[in-house]
Structures are given as C-alpha cells and as structure tokens.
Amino acid sequence: MNKNLKNLLLTGGTLGAAGVGSGITAGVASLILFNKTLPRPRGTDPEIIDEFADRAKMEEYKVRMAPVGEWMERQAWEHVTLRARDGLRLHALFLAAERPMGKLAIFHHGFTSHAVDNASHAKFFHEQGYEVLLLDLRAHGESEGDYVGFGILDRYDTLEWVRWARARFGKDVKIVLHGTSMGGATVLMALGLPEIQEAVSAVIADCAYTSPADIFSSVIRKDYHLPPAPIIKLTSARAQKAAGYRFDEYSTLDALKNNRVPVLFVHGKEDKFVPTWMSQKNYEACPSKKRLLMVEGAGHGSSVFENQPLYEQTEKAFLADALGE
C-alpha cells in the first residue's frame, strides 16, 4: 500500500493489536485506502515497487528487458479506441501479425501500469504469429476514467475489446486473454460473461487476486495487523457511491464456477503482494482444462522476468493444447 496509510492505521488510536476499535479510526483508514486505490493512479509509490521484487532484481530485469523496449520502438503500432458500456473512451495499441494465422492475444496490465508494460509478452506472442492488442485499462494510460475498476468493471471492457476483435478479424479468430495482477483478475472475471465463454479460446492469468475485497483485506491484515472487515466495508460503500461497484460484489471464484475455457494460472512463489493461495483457489475453482505454474524466486508480476524460458515454454505447451495445434 503506502507509508502514509501504514502510519495512519498504526497511530489512529491507542488500540494496539486489538485493531480498529472506533468508527473514527476505521473511517479515516477507509478514506486513506479509498484515496490511494480508487482514483486514477498518478504514479507508482516506491513501497509498492518493493512488493513486486527485490530492488536489485528489478534493476537486473530492466537491463535484460532493454532489447524489448527497443523492439517496441521499431514496431508500427496502431492506436485503437472504443467506447465502454458506460461511455468511457478506452485505448489500446495494436500490432498486426507479419503472417496472419487467425490468432489474437489481448493483454491486460496491473494496477498503476499501462499498455507498454506488457511489451515482453507482446514480443513473444508476436513472434509466435499472433496479432497483439495491448490495453490501457480504464483510468490508466490513455484510457479515460476517474476510478480504477479492479476487474469488476474491467471485465465488461474486456467484452467490448473481444467484440472489436471479432468484428475486425471475424468470429473464427482464436482469442487469448492474458492478464497480470489486476489484469489477471480481470481476465478471470471476464470468464463469467457467456459471450466471453463463446468467443475466447484460452486465458492466461498471472498472479491474479480473487477479489478486491480479498486483496485489500490481505494487505491490511498482513502489513498492519488490523481487522480488515470494518475498513473494507466502509471503503466499499465509498467505492459504490463514486465508481458504481463494491469490492465484494464479484470475484474470480464466482466467474470460474461454470467456466469451459482452458486457463493457465501463473504465480511467483516469492510474491509478497498477492498471496499464492489466491491462484491456488482460482485453480481449484476452475472446472475446465487448466494448468498451474508456480515460479521459484519470482516476486509479484515478475515470473516472466525471473524465468523467461520456463514461462514461455509453459505458455507454448498450454496454448498448443488449448488451441488444438
């Protein structure tokens, strides 16, 4: 989360480990949580970065990924937009396949990220013959929106992009949804929509949480040793009023109950932000063809950087099976 939230929660009263004992403390904590998570992000807090991976590893990842950035700059990206069901203008970057094979990968980034942060995944899929579409999720990058959707709203945006894809490439196009963190939760929640079930061929969900309520509760409990229920309840009410949804109104577990689409679940074993049990629960809840990859030494959202060969080999094998190749 954020140092200000941590300090406020721990000094909001003389309640110690007993937790939130007054409405004032819970209310103030809720206000800070809302302000740090729901409005459009203005950048990434250094403490959030620390949750992803060791800083030395992050610097190593940056050096190794530099050629990917150079590849991005050489490509002829097309800016595409559409309207969400609530009227927001959504933006994405599209790169056509060199030799079209009737396959499209749609990439969903995490909280505070944007389209180009999926460059490594985009390069890999493009080299496998896919058309690639890198989304700016609502309230991120060049997409409109004042409030983050945390998957609950974004699942409907994913449906609009799938409709765009089928209108452009035909209903026989094989669509793969790929998401990391919040993007991972988004692509799993999208599976609860019947039209997605019909149109999508495979899903890859990397370090996805189960619901906004679950991930925020986990952080509050783990980092601040406070009972999360009153804070989550008040913040959900604020989110409902401002953004039109509650943190607990939907989850990946709800979406996966009747899923028929093959899913690859990925999670770094050293993830300090989204607990590994969330991917385990998602995996267990999924009745379709599925696979779970746990990556040694990988922090939050870092599995592809920690062990790129394993990550990509697993994707290849999974997609070959899922797409019947």
Residue for token pair 């709800």: 254
State which amino acid sits at residue 274.
V
Residue 27 pLDDT: 86
Residue 25 pLDDT: 80
Residue 45 pLDDT: 55
**E strand map for 190-234:** 200-206
Residue 59 pLDDT: 85
Q: What angle is formed at CA 264 by the lines to CA 260 and CA 268, rounded to 5 degrees?
A: 145
> CA 260 to CA 286: how far, in whole Å?
8
Residue 17 pLDDT: 35
Residues in the chain: 325
- Token pair, residue 307, equals 């062990």
Residue 61 pLDDT: 87
Residue for token pair 């069901």: 85
Residue 3 pLDDT: 46
Report the candidate in 232, 182, 175, 222 with the shortest Cα–Cα distance to residue 200: 175
Residue 6 pLDDT: 44
Residue 47 pLDDT: 53
226, 20 in Cβ contact below 8 A?
yes
Residues of the chain with pLDDT under 70: 1-24, 44-54
The radius of gyration of the chain's CA atoms, rounded to the nearest angstrom, is 19
How far is CA 161 from each of CA 25, 94, 157, 167, rounded to the nearest angstrom? 41, 11, 6, 10
Residue 263 pLDDT: 98
pLDDT tens column, 262-301:
999 999 999 999 999 999 999 999 999 999 999 999 999 9
292, 265 in Cβ contact below 8 A?
yes
Output the pTM of the full model: 0.91
Residue 287 pLDDT: 98
Residue 19 pLDDT: 44
- Token pair, residue 247, equals 């943190």
Report the candidate in 217, 201, 162 with the shortest Cα–Cα distance to residue 289: 201
51, 273 in Cβ contact below 8 A?
yes
Residue 289 pLDDT: 97
- Token pair, residue 96, equals 């056509």
57, 299 in Cβ contact below 8 A?
yes
